[in-house]
Amino acid sequence: MIIKQRPSWAISESEVTPESIYLNRRKFMSGLAVTAAAMAIPGLTQAAENQGKPALNYRKVVDYSTDETATPYSDITRYNNFYEFGPSKEDPARHAGQMVVDPWSVEVEGECARPGRYALEDLLKPHSYQERIYRLRCVEAWSMVIPWVGVPLADILKQLEPTSKAKYVYFETLQNPEQMPGQRSLFSTIDWPYREGLRMDEAMNELSFLAVGLYGKELLNQNGAPIRLVVPWKYGFKSIKSIVKIRFMKERPMTSWEMIAPDEYGFYANVNPEVDHPRWSQSRERRLPSGVFRPNWIETTKFNGYGEQVAGLYKGMDLATFY
Ligand code: MTE
C-alpha cells in the first residue's frame, strides 16, 4: 500500500532561495575522444579513495563532458538517494553493502526482437566503456558533477532490437527486501520495485547513459551498482539504480514518484528553473560540496544545461503541463 505523505526530499521554500554565489558554467569541452590516461580529469585524485573497486578501461568522451570541477568522490558516495536502503542521505552508504551485485542479470521484455534474461556481462560485452562528466541535478535542489563510466543507453537498446511498436522504455530496480531494509520498512511511501521510464526518443538520445562506474572504477552499491541509468537533463529521480528489468512498451509506463505524487513529480521531469515544484523554487541549486557557511548556491539552467542536445525532443510541448 502506498501511504501518501511528504517525501523526505521535500525542502522548505526558505532553504532554496538564498542568493546565488556562483554562476553555473555551461561550457563544454570540445574535441576528439582521447584516452583517459592522456587527460587530466578534474578531481581524479579522488579516485584514490576508491581503491577497493576494480578499475575500468574506458576512453574519455570530451564532447559530452563538462569542464566544471567534479564533486569529490566522498560526496558522490556518501550523500545519496537510494530509498531501498532508507530515507536519509547516509543510509545508502551505510546499508547498500548488503546488496549482492554479482552475479547480476537483466530481464528484457516487451516490444523487441530479442527478449530474455541476460547476464550483465553478456549485455555489456559488445561495447567499450566511455567516461562522461555530467551534471546531476536532484529535484531537491542540490547538484553534483560526476565522472561516470559506462555505455550509451542507445547502444544497449539497439542490440535488443526494439520493434516499431516500442514507444517507451521502462526500467525496474532490484526488489529484495532481505537485502534492502527500506523495502521492509512499514513507513516507505514507494510501492516497490522502484520504476522509471523514458520516451523512446529520449532513451535513444546521445546523452542517455548506462553507468557501471564512476571516477574510473566500478560503481559502489550506494550509487546503483552494478548498472544504473543516467539522464543528465532530467531530475535525478529519473536516473534509476541497480536495474534488473528493461521493458519496451507501447503505452507510457507509470513511474515510482508519479505514483506517489503526480502533481509534484511528472513523467518528464526535465530540469526547468521556470517551473517550480509546488512546494519550492527550482531556480537555484546547491552544488555539492556545500556547507552552512558556504552553501554554494548556483543558478539552475534549463535542461540542466543540455538544451543544445535535447530541447528538440520537446518542440511544441508546454513544459509546464508536461513537467
Ligand atoms: N533509484 C532507485 N532504485 N531508488 C532510489 O531511491 N533515487 C533517485 C535516483 N535513482 C533512487 C534511484 C534520486 S531521487 C536521485 S537524486 C539519484 O538516484 C541519486 O543518485 P546518487 O545517489 O548516485 O547521487
Encode pLDDT of 251-300 as tens digits: 999 999 999 999 999 999 999 999 999 999 999 999 999 999 999 999 99
CA distance 137 to 321: 20
Q: Do 275 and 241 contact (CB within 8 A), yes or no? A: no
User: What letter represents residue 135's amino acid?
Assistant: R
Q: Which domains does the chain have, with CATH numbers?
A: 13-312 (3.90.420.10)
Whether the bond between 289 and the residue before it is cis, its omega within 30 degrees of 0, is yes
Find the 17 Cα to ligand 1 centroid distance in Å: 24
What mean pLDDT, rounded, does the chain reach? 88
Q: Do 112 and 166 contact (CB within 8 A), yes or no? A: yes
CA distance 216 to 131: 8
- 73-102: average pLDDT: 98
Find the 241 Cα to ligand 1 centroid distance in Å: 6
Query: Which tops the pLDDT comparison, 96 or 8?
Result: 96
Find the 197 Cα to ligand 1 centroid distance in Å: 14
**190 CA: nearest ligand 1 atom:** 6
The reported pLDDT for the residue numbered 50 is 58
Q: What is the DSSP letter of 42?
A: T
- 97-123: average pLDDT: 98
The reported pLDDT for the residue numbered 44 is 43
**257 CA: nearest ligand 1 atom:** 14
Query: Which tops the pLDDT comparison, 224 or 2?
Result: 224
User: For residue 245, which phi and psi values (nearest 5 degrees)?
Assistant: -145, 135
pLDDT band at 29, cuts 50/70/90?
very low
pLDDT above 80 for 140: yes
Grid cell of 166 as nine digits: 516500442
Residues forming a β-bridge with 110: 248
Residues forming a β-bridge with 287: 143
CA distance 220 to 27: 29
pLDDT digit string, tens, across residues 241-254:
999 999 999 999 99
The reported pLDDT for the residue numbered 131 is 98
Grid cell of 200 as nine digits: 523512446
Query: Which tops the pLDDT comparison, 18 or 63?
Result: 63
- To test ligand 1's pocket by mutation, which of 81, 106, 219 has the most ligand atoms within 8 angstroms of CB? 81
Find the 10 Cα to ligand 1 centroid distance in Å: 15
The reported pLDDT for the residue numbered 52 is 82
Ligand 1 atom 6 nearest Cα: 82
Ligand 1 atom 11 nearest Cα: 82
- 176-181: average pLDDT: 98
The reported pLDDT for the residue numbered 210 is 99
The reported pLDDT for the residue numbered 49 is 53
168-173/243-249 β-pairing: antiparallel
Percent of the chain with pLDDT over 90: 84
Grid cell of 186 as nine digits: 512499514
Cα distance between the two ends of the chain = 26
Find the 69 Cα to ligand 1 centroid distance in Å: 21
The reported pLDDT for the residue numbered 9 is 41
Measuring CA to CA, which residue among 45, 86, 89 is closest to residue 69? 45
Ligand 1 pocket, residues with Cβ under 6 angstroms: 80-84, 136, 138, 173, 194, 223-224, 236-237, 239-242
**83 CA: nearest ligand 1 atom:** 6
The reported pLDDT for the residue numbered 268 is 98
